[in-house]
Structure 1
Amino acid sequence: MIDGTAKGILQTIEGSFSKHEVPLDHVFGLTSDTTNVMMGKHNSVQALLKTEIPHLVVIECSCHLIHLATSYASRKLPKNLEDLCRNIPAYFHMSPKRTEALKQFQDFLKIDQHKLLSAANTRWLSLQACVDRILEQYDALKLFFTGAVFEDPSNTNDSILNSLNNPFNKALLHFMSYVFSITNDFNTFFQTKSPQLFILPVMVRKMLNTFLCNFVKKEHLNLSSDLKSLKQIDVTKTEIHLNNDHIYVGMEAHAILEDLKTKAPIEEVNKFYASCREFYVEIVLQIQKRFDLNEKLFDILKYVDPKIARNLEKQSVKDVFDKFNFLTTKCNMQKADNEWRNQALIDLKHFGVESEEELKKHAS
């Protein structure tokens, strides 16, 4: 039986290194999801490994970090929204009769007969696909549950229909779709086979700027700021927030709100914006807290950017040896520097490509 403790996992890792004849002191990086057994401060795999490899660089999985950030921020939205997204697919799951009945309304409204999607409990960002599908089938679902409440009164049917009939819920679903698309795009970017770690600070800064611009007054922002400056913005200060009319909630949600402003009580409109504002505040706080990016390390990682390498924007690999001092005992520093500088002189056609962009794709 595989031992799932930190010590058991470490033994497996070290056994694999030994099997492939990789000396432990040649290992200098570890990345993983953020579970306690892997990344906890005490008695985790990374903590135990660091006792044997002092120079070890540990980077938590960016995809897992943004998943957690989004999950915590979403708790600021009304609970009935997540319930709606989980209850509707569950209602049709394993019920061909209900699915066939829904198809009649889909045909009547000329909506594609797509299946309702369920969100995975362990993959919170999968909720976007569920939200988008509900929005696509929204009118058909309203007709279906109107009939279901009449034919089969129940708390579940009543709850779902009441939620669907509330236009603010539809606006919030559109808001969820918009903000989840930002975090999902971030994840998708880093789920490629080519090395992208050196771009992480740029992508985190871009994502932070996107969220900040949506609810923080422009005079409190400097979009060219480095990540360190962005992490110091205190978004809990309400005086730096935009007023409701200027908070950006996505095009679809905005269109619904503009219509509701002429029909609904102002208290309900303000409640909607309060939920969106609280989401923005929390997701920025979570990103600021979770992405602890070592500037010196990520500056070194720029060496793997083909554009920087080919243009010799980094003229020497001295920074690498300064950061990973153990390398001085593994190779000749001057020879390594010579190789680094000479790579910029190699004709790209040597690699069968014509440009740096093609070289990057070729390397991946």
Structure 2
Amino acid sequence: MHANNVMDRFVIRTPAATATHEVIQPSSSVPLEYNENTTRCPKRAIENILVTSSSSDSESNESENAANESEIENEEPLKKKKYYQQKFRSNWKESRPWMIENKWGKPFCKVCQKNIIGKIYHIKRHEETKLHNLNIKKAENTPLLEYYCNNEKQQRHDNLVKTAELNLCLFLHEHNLPFLLMDHLPKLIRHICPDSEVAKSLKCSRTKATSLTKYCLAKEQLEIISRKLKQTKFSLILDETTDISTEKSLALVVRFFDEGVVKDRFFGLLKVESCTAEAIFNKILDYLIGLDIPLDNLLGLAADNAAVMMGQLTGVQARFKDRLPNLFVLGCVCHSFHLCSSAAAKKLPRSLEDFVRNIYNYFSNSSQRLSKLKECQTFMSLKPNKLLHPSQTRWLSLQTLQKIDPSDPRHFIKLEDIYFGAKVELLILNGNVEVMELKNFRLRALEFYVELCQQIKKRFNFENPVLQFISNFNPKNAVSGEVYSIVADSMTHFPNLVTDIEKLNSEWRLIASCDELKVKSEKTLEEFWSYVFDLKK
């Protein structure tokens, strides 16, 4: 390829043959002869020309490269352009009071706490950001320090506004109202009280109300309760629940005596990952230790009758009793009565309960049927009562039971003497019920009561010595003088409460001999003993 290029250059540089036939003489010593019979050059001559031409070309290229290198060396190097850095200008602060000069002479945003690097374009771009504008609004609503130091009247006004906002939050808590109401309640108050400066300054929506409750009121209330529980005995009431987000929680309520009144206070809602007895016990124990509440102040424990809570070997109450052997434990009375009534209801015909449920199911899902029912009640001049769902839970009120055998027929009353209420008695007197049907009805009712009493005896321990001891503190029993001393039982059941045996026994005997206390025996348990404590003071 290189030989062809050289040949082309040779052909181009060589002019066409003239009359004199001049030929370029190479530097070689071999002469070239022109042959008139042909236009071709001898082969050897061409090779000599090619070699000579290539060597001359390489020499010329080397000379050119050397010349270029010498020119480059003689040229002066180009100077790098220096970058101009914008300096801070004092006139920028006239239209932008939020900007100051930092110690390096650069712009600094006071509200965002950021250095601004660049020129005026970057400053304007920062000024238009969403975060900067939000911080500007916050800064405008934040009063200066001099505002509080030199304006006592304004401070009193601000305190009144804060008190009003806290009272609104407490109003929601007391009446179990949603925080969404706070988006409208302050506006309503401002509209009702246009001449009130405090009402005009109310600015408390649901977000602020939630924060005040969570980070202010709740923490303060928990600290108050914790301080009282550190100094007094208390009982703990537990209950598990699952909220709408299927998160398992454990609700804690404490009961203690304070200022002459027995108080029940919400103590916490603990998130539990596992519902085992060990996990629940450890969660409660860590919570009490975290609040620095002595475990020895725990006097009683109440919970539902689930095996996790009331298990005799590994339940929560068993684990507490390992730490506190004299702890008084009580299961849920309502749940126990529910089980008793459910077992007794099996003695009644199943068709009765099914009939009641079918009535509710027929009307519950139809607004048209409910409207017709209401129209019928109005036509019959009946009170339009709301149709309630028949629940499995039955709330019962029972009197004190004696130690009897409910299944012993000797204790049964006559079937004719069983009382079912005024309306049933009126229906029986009308004679619209056959004799055999009435007898079967009375027999089933008797079986219901017998089964109910048996279930109550089975599920409630009426021989509990602690309950029998506590009955001595009934006002009538206390002033009667029948119980001569409570020292032995107190030391047996609650040894951690007794500090001076002689003083305790003397005060107990004085109660029976005090005529003023006998007059107060008709009061409730709480009122009576509050009065006793006041006399002691």
TM-score by length of 1: 0.60
2:297 and 2:482 map into 1 onto residues whose CA distance is: 27
Corresponding residue to 1:305 among 474, 482, 486: 474
Matching residue of 2:425 = 254
- Partners of 1:281 and 1:40 in 2: how far apart? 29
Residue 38 of structure 1 corresponds to 309
Partner of 2:354: 83
Q: Using the alignment, how far apart are the partners of 1:346 and 1:16 within structure 2?
A: 44
Within-5 A mapping of 1:163-242: 183=396, 185-186=397-398, 203-205=399-401, 227=402, 229-230=403-404, 233-235=405-407, 237-238=408-409, 241-242=412-413
- 124, 149, 157: which one pairs with 2:394? 124
Distance 1:120 1:15, change over 3 A: farther
Task: Name the counterpart of 2:275.
Answer: 4
Does the 8 Å CA contact 1:303/1:309 hold for their aligned counterparts?
A: yes
1:249 and 1:360 mapped to 2: Cα distance? 33
CA deviation vs aligned residue, 1:290-322 (integer Å, no higher than 9, x gap) = 121235323321343234335554343313334
SS in 2 for 1:58: strand
Structure 2 partner of 1:245: 416
1:178-218 Cα deviation digits (max 9, x unpaired): xxxxx2x34xxxxxxxxxxxxxxxx332xxxxxxxxxxxxx
Distance 1:305 1:268, change over 3 A: closer
From the superposition, tell whether residues 307 and 66 of structure 1 become closer, same or farther in structure 2 (CA, over 3 Å): same
The answer to whether the 8 A contact 1:348-1:359 is kept is: no
Percent of aligned pairs sharing the same letter: 30
Q: How many residues align?
A: 258
- Let me know the Cα RMSD of the aligned residues: 3.3
Bigger share in helix: 1
Partner of 2:438: 269
Distance 1:268 1:307 in 2: 47
Q: Distance in 1 between matches of 2:382 and 2:483?
A: 55
Shift of 1:111: 0.8
Q: Structure 1 unaligned runs (5+)?
A: 126-182, 187-202, 206-226
Q: How does 1:139-158 map to 2 (within 5 A)?
A: none
Return the match for 1:72 from 321, 343, 350: 343
Would the alpha carbon gap of residues 337 and 348 (structure 1) be closer, same or farther in structure 2, given more than 3 Å must change? same
2:400 match: secondary structure: helix
Out of 95, 107, 127, the residue aligned to residue 378 of structure 2 is: 107
Deviation at 1:76, TM superposition (A): 1.3
1:13 to 284, 296, 312: 284
Higher RCO by CA contacts (8 Å cutoff, separation 6 or greater) = 1
Pick the structure with more strand per residue: 2
Q: 1:326 to 1:360 in 2, by over 3 A?
A: closer
Take 2:413 and 2:506, find their aligned partners in 1: how far apart are those partners? 53
Q: How far apart in 2 are the matches of 1:238 and 1:358?
A: 39
Distance 1:42 1:313, change over 3 A: same
1:282 maps to amino acid: E
Tell me, what secondary structure is at the counterpart of 1:204?
A: coil
Q: State the SS of the aligned residue for 1:114.
A: coil
Distance 1:244 1:348, change over 3 A: closer
Distance 2:437 2:505 in 1: 64
Q: Secondary structure at the match of 1:15?
A: helix
On the 8 A contact 2:487/2:504 being kept in 1, the answer is no
Q: Please, which runs of 5 or more residues in structure 2 have no aligned partner?
A: 1-270, 531-537
Once the two structures are TM-superposed, the CA of residue 101 in structure 1 deviates from its matched residue by 1.0
State the Cα deviation string for residues 239-288 of structure 1 (Å, max 9, x = none). 7645533444334323323445x653x44333222321220121111112
Which residue does 1:279 correspond to in 2?
448
Alpha-carbon distance between aligned partners in 2 of 1:254 and 1:287, rounded to the nearest angstrom: 28
Aligned partners of 2:521, 2:382: CA distance in 1, in Å? 46
Q: Tell me the SS of whatever aligns to 2:329.
A: strand
Residue matched to 1:333: 501
**Compared with structure 1, are the counterparts of its residues 9 and 344 closer, same or farther at alpha carbon in structure 2 (3 Å cutoff)?**
farther
Q: Quick check: 1:289 aligned with 2:458?
A: yes
Q: 1:307 to 1:270 in 2, by over 3 A?
A: closer
- Measure, in 2, the Cα distance between the counterparts of 1:341 and 1:17: 37
Equivalent residue letter for 1:292: N
Match of 2:359, as an amino acid? I
Which segment drifts farther, 111-120 or 18-27?
A: 18-27
Aligned residue number for residue 58 of structure 1: 329
CA contact (8 A) 2:406 2:453 kept: no
* 355 and 241 in structure 1: CA distance in 2 versus 1, 3 angstrom threshold: closer
CA distance in 2, matches of 1:317, 1:19: 36
Aligned partners of 2:340 and 2:456 also within 8 Å: yes
Aligned amino acid, residue 394 of structure 2: W
Specify the SS of the correspondent of 2:390. coil
Q: CA deviation at 1:98?
A: 1.1
**How far off is 1:326 after superposition?**
3.5
Q: C-alpha distance in 1, partners of 2:513/2:290?
A: 38
